[in-house]
Amino acid sequence: MANFNPYFASSSSGSRSEEDEEAILNAAAMILFSPEAERYDGPLIKIPCRNSDMPGWKWVQELITGYPLRILENCRITVDNFMRLCDVLVGNNYVPQNPHTHVSIEESLAMTLVMLSHSTQTRVVAERFQHSTETIHRNVAEALLGLCRFAQRIIKPKQSDEVHPKIRYSSKYYPWFKDCVGALDGTHIPATVLVNEQMAYTNRHGTQSQNVLALYSMPFILFPAVELHHVSSFPDLPENVDR
């Protein structure tokens, strides 16, 4: 009579059980993820990602009609100026409006101001306004372009031959700066760039930033004479400038 080895029997049975279990899982995966899967049990059910009861347009309406401090804290602008800015952007075609779009100019401007005011990531804005990241990116880009077009119209250097009072009545600056018409300076602004482009934007601190060269008119109001360069373009400019 042959000797019976219980260890060998249990080991063999366990391995067969594991193989059968793996085969069942593989078969289930092939059925679930196969292009033919929809034929057996109808179309796959799509679950909406952002279905909050407080969509972006509704939240913006609350900011406009609600307590005045709310829109000031979120968008850094008053209600009156916000509405006037919307009218200017649309009325002058700085932000073209499509009648078939699902995002109004108020919502588009609000998401742009929220992102700029609080350095908010796109995904966070997408969750707040209940839109896809693609919709957020497209509308913010259009609003920013419109704001830049508007800035070119209203922000201009003041043409005057008069000496600025801050220089004229200061023994520290007059008469050495009596012919000064403006100021030029540079600074670094933190930037987020693609991995393959980070080397060109890496500053001496090891982080990525955008080198900005700006010109200021005499009242020291920035006018459209700003140039953007890689960090390596102007290595002698200071990286931390107090305004």
Q: How do the domains of the chain map onto residue ranges?
A: 56-154, 181-233
Q: Indicate whether 9 pLDDT > 80.
A: no
Q: Are 98 and 106 in contact (CB under 8 A)?
A: no
Mean pLDDT value across residues 58-77? 94
More confident residue, 36 or 116: 116
Q: Indicate whether 155 pLDDT > 80.
A: no
pLDDT score of 7:
45
pLDDT score of 240:
43
pLDDT score of 181:
73
> First CA to last CA across the chain, in angstroms?
98
pLDDT score of 164:
76
Q: Are 223 and 158 in contact (CB under 8 A)?
A: no
Query: Exposed/middle/buried for 56, CB within 10 Å: 0-12, 13-18, 19+?
Result: buried
Distance CA 107, CA 57 (A): 6
pTM of the full structure: 0.57
pLDDT score of 64:
94
Q: Which of 68-77, 108-117, 179-188 has the lowest mean pLDDT?
A: 179-188
More confident residue, 160 or 111: 111
pLDDT band (50, 70, 90) for residue 1: very low
pLDDT band (50, 70, 90) for residue 241: very low
Q: Which of 28-42, 60-74, 120-134, 140-154 has the lowest mean pLDDT?
A: 28-42
Mean pLDDT value across residues 209-226? 64
Average pLDDT, the chain: 78
Mean pLDDT value across residues 5-24? 63
Secondary structure class of 181 (helix, strand, coil): coil
More confident residue, 96 or 218: 96
